[in-house]
Structure 1
Amino acid sequence: MLKLVTTFVVLILLIGCQVQTEQTNSKLPDEMASIDLDDIVKRGKIRVVTDYNSTNYFVYKGRPLGYQLELLQALSNTLGLKLEIVVSNDVEKNFESLLKGDVDLIATNLTVTRNRSHHVTFTEPHCITHQVLVQQKPSANNTLEEDDVIRNQLDLAGKTVYVQENSAYVTRLQSLANEIGDSIHVVEIPDYEVEQLIALVANGEIPYTVCDYNLAKINLNFFDNIDVETAISFPQKIGWAVRPNSGDLRDVVDNWLINFKKTNQYKRIYRKYFINKRSTHLVNSSFHSIKGGRVSAYDAIIKEESEKYNFDWRLIAALIYQESRFLPEVESWAGAIGLMQLMPQTAESFGVEKITSPQQNIQGGLKFLIWLDKRFRDRISDPEERLKFVLASYNVGPGHVEDAMRLAKKNNKNPNIWEDNVDYYLLNKSKPSFYNDPVVKYGYCRGEEPFHYVTDILERYTHYKNVITD
């Protein structure tokens, strides 16, 4: 890594990487998409890009978490819209995606700057912070003295500072260089997020980076050899961004943020991610998607068995989380047992001898999924659409799902489409007017459970795909 970073320094210094005025981003699209709140409401979902780090968005023990994620979930619930998360740590790419209309909102810790305001419209800030220098402090593992720690911004003259490419930290360092009347060598690192650069400082691979203070304080829990007490900016607004022609969306988000920040829910979320110290156990846990990349203790088995049957292991992990929270001996009130919550008769029919064995239980669950998939294959050719029927059947049985398909067909809905068609009739199958219909063969069903079961698993599966690549 040190060799890679050194290469960046040489290349950039060769082309004169001294402080310069901030350039207009040449990659921004010439034409801006025209999408506002009415279009988003008709679509039924709001598409948002956020960044992947240990604060904004991550997975811990199979559960999606993060400051930005929890804010976005609260916003989408208020708007009555589904939330579609896209993950990207590339600032430039995020602005491009917004203006092209691929996403409706950038929900990261965007510093509000005048130059950025020429291209996007910022929302009400969700927090206020300031930028700080991240550097090593003297310890037994380095040769630094107290006098080596920069406390005066004037001492940054001639120093090399590594920052995320196209970030607001670049602009701030350029302004600071003008203020101190000397040069600061700014190295913009592509494909590296702020926390990764902090780790490089902690490991001694680069000397300095810049970070927002609230995020810097969190990283003190991760690295006890960094210093974050030298401010390099005044307090700054941190907000989200929408397209300049998305005025209605901006107004709604602004009003929501103004009111939401006054609630105990917002205070709890902010304390959770920026004030309360998270234990070293959580930070260094192998079950943290950033630090260890594991969803559960059974990832190896899930991967092995899923590969045998041509399933994405992250889908199976999402299902197992829903069923058992990865507890192999848990038993439901109905008698379902194990990681994939197999009923004893189902386990027996698929050759499971020891139902609490994680491997055998997963094998039985996968065989059951394949059996269900074959049952719907002739009617529903699209694998992604068919998966919704298979998941609902895994939860409540295929008979009730087929009842809902017959009800949909009778009422001139598409019996082979899940959303806003079959799911509606399964959801309402607890009502006498639905389960007493002559086309219904399997009677009453508490349809709310399979309705949410499908949504929850697919949503969790998307989160796993966002942060776990293999």
Structure 2
Amino acid sequence: MGKIFTVILSALALLLSACFQEKENDAKDTSIELSERDLNEIKEEGVVRVVTNYNSTNYFVYKGTPMGYQLELLQEFSNYMGLKLDVTINNDLSTNYRNLKKGAIDIIASNLAATLEKNDGIRFSEPHSFSRQILVQQRYQPDNGNTGNREYNKLIRNQLNLAGETIYVQKESAYAKRLRNLAQEIGDSINIVEIADYEVEQLIGLVASGEIKYTVCDENLARVNLNYYPNLDVETAISFPQKLSWAVRSTSPDLLNVIDNWLISFKKTARYNQIYQKYYLNKRSVHLVDEGFHSIKGGQVSDFDEMIKEESNKFNWDWRLIASLIYQESRFFPKVESWAGAQGLMQLMPGTADRFGVVNPENPRQNIRGGVEFLKWLDERLESRVTDPEERIKFVLASYNVGLGHVLDAMNLAEKYGKDPLVWENNVDYYLLHKSEPKFFNDPVVKFGYCRGEEPYHYVTEILERYEHYKNVME
């Protein structure tokens, strides 16, 4: 009843103050000064900042791996551009549009219906896909008792029958606009309730449970959700096929041009087809959300989340960072052993395990405790050199992978060649990466000799990137 009460209150508030809200939002929009950030500024920073929505198709974490249709498209685009991808999640379209205009983000990567009327500082890209808008309604009440007795509802098949009905949609979405146009077309009123705090899939869930009667979403997403809610009906279209696009600022024409050209080419590739089929057509993929290790439903990264939290808290480390490291080391398999003899979740070498009292490296608790203590030991030895905690964690991670001595060598090389020995990216990491070259491993300032630096170089980057994804979706 709590959800129903909340939705009803929201509906009443929004219906009674619709005109006021519209005027207020218009005033807010006109007061926002459009950022001039475009492709040159993005390239200069080396980072493209993107927001997407958190749901079971666009962006989520499954068994420790960040996944999603939009995420994979974004990864392909950022790799093509040679840019670092900074992904955040926000399901509130109003906030996303404001942040886009202000320059806090560069792209809204979602299933946005491209319209000609969005001329308030927003431009839509070449479509990444196409879909009709579908009325989502309940065929029958969910049979939680498995009695087999079902009472089927009368379904709307003719759009004229939407007259006088109340339909809940995401605020500022193309669905609300389409319903307003449809009301004009049928010559009757449709009560449209725009909900700011609910993402499309949450509204679909409310229809499935019977807490609201109708919502609208894209057909491809609607059919994915039939796998989770078989009591739904998604056969009534309320639009022709529409272009689904990304959004950028109108003051970023160069960025838009690059995105458009890339999408035109990329959609012709087998890789694009693979991504689309994986999230919208593959029956195995759509059932991932039913499993415990899905960030949306199960809320777990692994079987060992509680252990990781408990051991990390002893040293005030963020458990999500440790989880990302464990994924990198062992993919959460506690009995794995490397060719070099490293064992367990955190791949402890025998000498390290002995030093930190790990009697049985295959014991998850012991292994995690030993690994975290080793990280703390490394942190203490680097603390007097690299005083910035956020910067120091990169040095600690690299040391965990390749050894503290090689990292100290790379710091000495950075200082010798005029780089900052206390900054990782584009400074110390460069010399660790190239420490396999005779020019560097034979240098007098190097004490620990040859190092194949490619692995620790990517190790730090991948752990921190995954950590950012974990922070997006995990408390």
TM-score range, shorter chain: over 0.9
Distance 1:113 1:26, change over 3 A: farther
CA offsets 1:426-468 (integer angstroms, 9 cap, x no match): 0000111110111111001000000000000000000000111
One-letter code aligned to 2:179:
L
Instruction: Give, in angstroms, the shift of residue 235 of structure 1.
Output: 1.3
- Count of residues in Structure 1 that have an aligned counterpart in Structure 2: 467
Distance 1:43 1:279, change over 3 A: closer
Match among 243, 249, 270 for residue 237 of structure 1: 243
Q: Does structure 1 residue 89 correspond to structure 2 residue 95?
A: no
Structure 1 segment 330-345 matched on structure 2, within 5 A: 330-345=336-351
Match of 1:202 in 2: 208
Match among 58, 61, 67 for residue 59 of structure 1: 61
Match of 2:378 in 1: 372
Match of 1:293 in 2: 299
Distance 1:266 1:25, change over 3 A: farther
CA offsets 1:89-125 (integer angstroms, 9 cap, x no match): 1101111111101111111111112332332111111
Match of 1:174 in 2: 180
Match of 1:359 in 2: 365
Mean Cα displacement is larger for which, 115-124 or 345-354? 115-124
Instruction: Give, in angstroms, the shift of residue 144 of structure 1.
Output: 4.9
One-letter code aligned to 1:87:
I
Distance 1:447 1:335, change over 3 A: same
Give the % identical residues. Answer: 62
Q: Does structure 1 residue 389 correspond to structure 2 residue 395?
A: yes
Instruction: Give, in angstroms, the shift of residue 217 of structure 1.
Output: 0.7
Instruction: Give, in angstroms, the shift of residue 138 of structure 1.
Output: 3.1
One-letter code aligned to 1:426:
L
Match of 2:407 in 1: 401
Conserved 8 A contact 1:158-1:182 = yes
Match of 2:106 in 1: 104
One-letter code aligned to 1:57:
Y
Structure 1 segment 204-353 matched on structure 2, within 5 A: 204-278=210-284, 282-353=288-359
Conserved 8 A contact 2:414-2:428 = yes
One-letter code aligned to 2:277:
R
Match of 1:446 in 2: 452
| Whole-Å separation in 1 of the counterparts to 2:184 and 2:23 | 13
Conserved 8 A contact 1:49-1:87 = yes
Q: Does structure 1 residue 413 correspond to structure 2 residue 414?
A: no
One-letter code aligned to 2:433:
L
One-letter code aligned to 1:86:
T
Conserved 8 A contact 2:32-2:102 = no
| Whole-Å separation in 2 of the counterparts to 1:181 and 1:313 | 57
Unmatched 5+ residue regions in structure 1?
Answer: none
| Whole-Å separation in 2 of the counterparts to 1:201 and 1:140 | 11
Mean Cα displacement is larger for which, 231-240 or 9-18? 9-18
Unmatched 5+ residue regions in structure 2?
Answer: 144-148
Match among 64, 71, 74 for residue 73 of structure 2: 71
> TM-score, normalization: structure 2?
0.95
Conserved 8 A contact 1:160-1:187 = yes
Distance 1:16 1:124, change over 3 A: closer
| Whole-Å separation in 2 of the counterparts to 1:150 and 1:11 | 27
> TM-score, normalization: structure 1?
0.96
Distance 1:47 1:433, change over 3 A: same
| Whole-Å separation in 1 of the counterparts to 2:423 and 2:346 | 26
CA offsets 1:238-270 (integer angstroms, 9 cap, x no match): 101111111111111111000000000001001
One-letter code aligned to 1:305:
E
One-letter code aligned to 1:78:
Y
Match among 122, 125, 137 for residue 124 of structure 2: 122
Match of 2:7 in 1: 5
Instruction: Give, in angstroms, the shift of residue 17 of structure 1.
Output: 8.2
Match of 2:429 in 1: 423
One-letter code aligned to 1:330:
V
Match of 1:27 in 2: 28
Instruction: Give, in angstroms, the shift of residue 277 of structure 1.
Output: 1.5
SS of 1:116's partner is: coil
One-letter code aligned to 2:140:
P
Conserved 8 A contact 1:62-1:318 = yes
SS of 1:162's partner is: strand
Mean Cα displacement is larger for which, 35-44 or 387-396? 35-44
